[in-house]
Amino acid sequence: MIKNKNILITGGNSGIGFFAVINLLKTKNNLYVVIKNELRKNEFLKKIEKFFDKNYLSKYLNIIENCDLSDLENIKKIKDYFFSRKIFLDVVVLNAGLQYTGSFYPKVSKQGIELTFAVNHLAHFYLVNILKDFVRDKEESRIIVTSSDVHDPKSSGGNIGKKAGLNNLVDFRKKVTGQFLNFNADEAYKNSKLCNILFAKELEKKLKMSSSKISVITWAPGLVIPNDDSGFFRYSKRFNLFGYLIFSKASKNILGISESIENAGKILSKIVLDLNYNNIGFIHLSNKLISFKKHKLVESNVSYEANSAELASKLWTLSEEICESFGFVTFNI
């Protein structure tokens, strides 16, 4: 098991990430948690202090605050944080994500980028690019991306509603940076999860070319529904509260298809710590439903589109171009 390592996590103040942070802190690893603003930080500390005393937290928990990942300018703050302290990372967990299925209109970032794409994909793409020199090239090192099996139109969640599909990136830039052609919030989320996997596979290819030992892991936690108003579903609940409540109750108690948020966090912490994932190149893991209310983490195939090396390369180039069009320079990995 990995111990005494430096672990950066986005989306660690709520949802799956919060329970992953709890498990990781128990192992006395050094956690660096990116948090959007002062309000979210205070809420996070109030919750985490129920599990650990303040002296323990002061030793192992580090907060990088006022970092709204939708704003590319804030991504640079994260680099400055590690650069100024001469801290090198062993694990980077790209876990932050949002969706606002139910909305008829796109939300946008400070740079005018559709918000789902901006947070779920582009922020993490840019973060990895500018942090590349701060990740130790060791067998235990890894970059983990929280994706979803809805990236696959053939999956049980991916075949409901609008399906994922990047159409070889034809007009894709217009869909995410200004014209928002034929916007659909559900499709935007599924496409962002497809982008996660394409990004991870291209990243692993680039790392392999430099003989890097860093593993790149994508994982799908399954259907996880929190019990409070924080985390992943907070936007969707605003658009269709009644529908959400019915969906939540049926998924948890009647169909038994959802995973608990606590267990999903435990799974993520296991992926961070498990030595079986040392120096493995790329792997996609899926928390598969195997029976009523029972899941199992297994190595899984990705969709046909997610397997396209050509599309992965084109998405990487497009992501670079979008970042650079707003003055945020990326680097060759």
Q: In this predicted structure, what is the pLDDT of residue 329?
A: 86
Q: What is the DSSP string of 78-115?
A: HHHHHHHHT--BSEEEE------TT-SS--B-TTS-BH
Looking at residue 103, which CATH number applies to its domain? Answer: 3.40.50.720
Separation of alpha carbons 77 and 74, rounded Å: 5
- What is the identity of the amino acid at 14? S
Beta bridge partner(s), residue 64 = 34
Q: What is the pLDDT of residues 246-293, one digit of tens each?
A: 444 445 444 445 678 999 999 999 999 999 999 999 999 999 876 776
Q: In this predicted structure, what is the pLDDT of residue 156?
A: 82
Q: In this predicted structure, what is the pLDDT of residue 63?
A: 98
Alpha helices in the chain (DSSP H): 15-26, 38-48, 54-60, 72-85, 115-117, 123-131, 172-176, 185-209, 234-239, 241-249, 261-273, 309-325
Residue 332 lies inside a defined structural domain of this protein: no
Residue 285 and residue 131 in contact, taking contact as beta carbons nearer than 8 Å: no
Q: In this predicted structure, what is the pLDDT of residue 131?
A: 95
Residue 333 lies inside a defined structural domain of this protein: no
Residue 253 lies inside a defined structural domain of this protein: yes
Q: In this predicted structure, what is the pLDDT of residue 260?
A: 86
User: What residues have CB less than 8 Å from 238, skipping those under 6 apart?
Assistant: none
Q: Quick one: which of 150, 269, 153 has its CA closest to 220? A: 150
- What is the identity of the amino acid at 48? I
Instruction: Give 57's DSSP letter.
Output: H
Number of structural domains the chain divides into: 1
Residue 244 lies inside a defined structural domain of this protein: yes
Residue 222 and residue 157 in contact, taking contact as beta carbons nearer than 8 Å: no
Beta bridge partner(s), residue 285 = 219, 299
Residue 146 and residue 268 in contact, taking contact as beta carbons nearer than 8 Å: yes
H or E element in which residue 32 lies: strand 30-34
Range of the domain at 120: 6-325
Distance of CA 232 to the CA centre of its chain: 11
Q: In this predicted structure, what is the pLDDT of residue 255?
A: 47
Residue 331 lies inside a defined structural domain of this protein: no
The most distant pair of C-alpha atoms in the chain lies apart, rounded to whole Å, by: 53
Separation of alpha carbons 25 and 56, rounded Å: 9
Q: In this predicted structure, what is the pLDDT of residue 312?
A: 98
Residue 291 lies inside a defined structural domain of this protein: yes
What residue has token string 């180039």?
317
Tokens of 178: 């200004």
User: Per residue of the chain (333 residues), what is the pLDDT tens digit?
Assistant: 556 899 999 999 999 999 999 999 999 999 999 999 999 999 999 999 999 999 999 999 999 999 999 999 999 999 999 999 999 999 999 999 999 988 889 999 999 999 999 999 999 999 999 999 999 999 999 999 999 999 999 988 888 889 999 999 999 999 999 889 999 999 999 999 999 999 999 999 999 999 999 999 999 998 776 665 555 455 554 555 444 444 444 454 444 456 789 999 999 999 999 999 999 999 999 998 767 767 789 999 999 999 999 999 999 999 999 999 999 987 777
Distance of CA 92 to the CA centre of its chain: 10
Q: What is the DSSP string of 167-183?
A: GGGTTHHHHHTTS-TT-
